[in-house]
Structure 1
Amino acid sequence: MTTLQENYHTDNPVALITGSGAPRVGRAIAQHLASLNCHIALHANTSVDEANAAAKDIESDYGVKTIVTTGSLEDENVPDRLVAETVQAFGRIDILVNSAAIWSPTSFEEITASEIQRYFNINTLASFLCARAAGVQMAKQTCGGSIVNIGDWATVRPYLEHAAYFPSKGSIEVMTRSLAVELAQYNESIRVNCIQPGPVMLADDVSDSKAKTIASSTLVGRVGKAENVAHAVQFLCENDFVNGICLPVDGGRSIFAPDGMQVGMNTG
């Protein structure tokens, strides 16, 4: 299999990861790509101080150049600027990971139109605009580039109190396929794929009993790690014959019916 360096014809491919300021999945993706000798553009909105500290750690730990880009993805002008700042700093962009997202439980009766609109603006529209901006630059590069969108496994089995959130994440799957088709017309070496994470990096306020319940809802019987998602990003960026797919990284959660809901097979 080809390496990132072979795919992008450089010793130090450049990766922009949105939503990577806070110590969540986006940060883990950035650190993993840095360990593979990628120069890194972190992005933060409210976690700017954390992003600046992370940038120093990444440069120290992995010896790659790291910058911090900032801005609210509710502003439709920010995606173009993030990509422009990345290209200005490094002269190129080889990898874009659309990791930034918002989610919060809301009871069905209390959902407002403005809340749904905000989910689409940040989770869907911003990912599209970042991908378009990156794709325009990648089209100029002989080696093209890779765009990885972050979706959600639960779009196929939504859970309660997130009816405002799931439409925005469900759109990521269709958007990924459409972007793959569109951008290949500009440069056939541009690939667009999607990862659908399952339960990884549970919130600090999740109780032990709840964590056990979540772990038992997967086929592997445990909660995943942010590194599982980061490794999937590496695979999608390295494998140059994978394009337009949505890859669940969920421990089998999307196909498993826990709590005794499986239907037994009659062997009589």
Structure 2
Amino acid sequence: MSAETESKPLKLKRKVEVAVISDVHLGTYGCHAKELLTYLSSIDPKKLVLNGDIVDIWQFSKRYFPKSHLKVIKKLIDMAADGVEVIYITGNHDEMLRKFSGTSIGNISIVDKTVLELDGKKAWIFHGDVFDVSIQNAKWLAKLGGYGYDMLIVLNGIINWCLEKSGRERYSLSKKIKNSVKSALKYINNFEDVVSDLAIENNYDYVICGHIHQPKMLLKENKMGKTMYLNSGDWVENFTALEYQFKRWKIYNYQHDKLSAFFGDEELKDMDIKDLIAAITIIDPKKNKF
């Protein structure tokens, strides 16, 4: 064994059938690109769904697009080159890409929505901004709100730096505001109900969105039937993704699960060791691009 191999031990990557991320907002101060890059480097998905607002074209500036953000883009391209099917679903912050909807380059396709067949069930995936009245009727107001949100995240970062230095827990200003404003909570609940009702009406087993930066997995029912509502959250505050493996969906949380080789799930304790071994891939560091 060479000295290089000894200094760089083989890494384990989790096999995932489908991974979904959204609301990364590359090109903004709030984006946590380094954490996302770590996450992407830890998984080996068959399909990777980028569910909107990956690059924030609304707030794009030549003055701010750091190397870590460029590395995320390069990582996504490398994953596609290595055989991962990458599905880029357009959102409102990257709506300029909608003119290219239906375009495919290698393993990367750009669409406005998609439907995946997963073990006999249908997953309906779209960003969700089409159900946002503020965007449809007053886009300028939504863009202004986006700038305000970005500044709030910058301020929150300064506050959290001070809190961490003093040994105290991190604090989310935007979450506090959202959770304390009744209209914000009502908007989120209405959003979930509308997309879920539409999914039930169209016989989808899963409906998967982003947009509202609220990671969630919830069974929704009405008189016509039921569906599983899922939201992938974001990489500005929540650092979350959706993962489908072993015929089930899970919300991955970077802050809680980044060191987990497998899902922290009681049911997996009784799984056959062969199935667990099949759930990981050994990566040779000499071939690994990151």
Q: Using CA pairs below 8 Å that are at least 6 residues apart, which structure has the higher relative contact order? A: 2
Structure number with higher helix proportion: 1
Which TM-score band (shorter chain)? 0.3 to 0.5
Question: TM-score normalised to the size of structure 2?
Answer: 0.35
